[in-house]
Amino acid sequence: MVTLKIQSLDDIIRAYLCGLGFTGDKAAATIEQLKTKLTENGDGDAAVEALDHLLYQSARQIFKNSSLDKPQLIALLKFCYLRSNGAQKWGGSVFEPSAIDGKMAEQLHQEIIHMAPNYVLSHMEPQPIEIPQPGKLIKKIFKHKSK
């Protein structure tokens, strides 16, 4: 298991961006872009939550008709972004809902995998359960052995 030592807001953002496929100069430029939107309060969880919220706003913009909850919608955007190599194509524009154009949204829509439909419960009449009677069971066993 890999252990990361988080030292600053830059490290938190870099780790988050690595999960989205960012490397090198693209990551450095995006870190500077995102640092202006986040406040450094020393809490890594708050920074990740703020980054998730930025992605959620973009996901709502891209997947307008989706009925998924917030965590699922963020996961769907991350998945489609990774599959389409979005870090190299669009860089940090995924964190700007206003910067998302129709072409980007269309390409991300092409990467969607469809989940299995929800299950449907149907009504079933109760079935009578036969409780085995020890006497009858023993007779059946010996009856079959004698044949």
Model confidence at 21: pLDDT above 60? yes
pLDDT in tens, 66-122: 888 999 999 999 999 999 988 888 888 888 888 888 888 888 888 887 767 778 888
Q: Which of 1-5, 19-23, 38-42 has the lowest mean pLDDT?
A: 1-5
Amino acid at 104: M
Across 26-48, average pLDDT: 81
Average pLDDT, the chain: 83
Q: CA 104, CA 48: separation in Å to the nearest integer?
A: 24
* Spatial separation of the C-alpha atoms in residues 136 and 130, rounded to whole Å: 12
Spatial distance between the Cα atoms of 15 and 45, rounded to a whole number of angstroms: 12
Given pLDDT bands bounded at 50, 70 and 90, which one contains residue 28?
confident
Q: Is the pLDDT of residue 146 over 60?
A: no
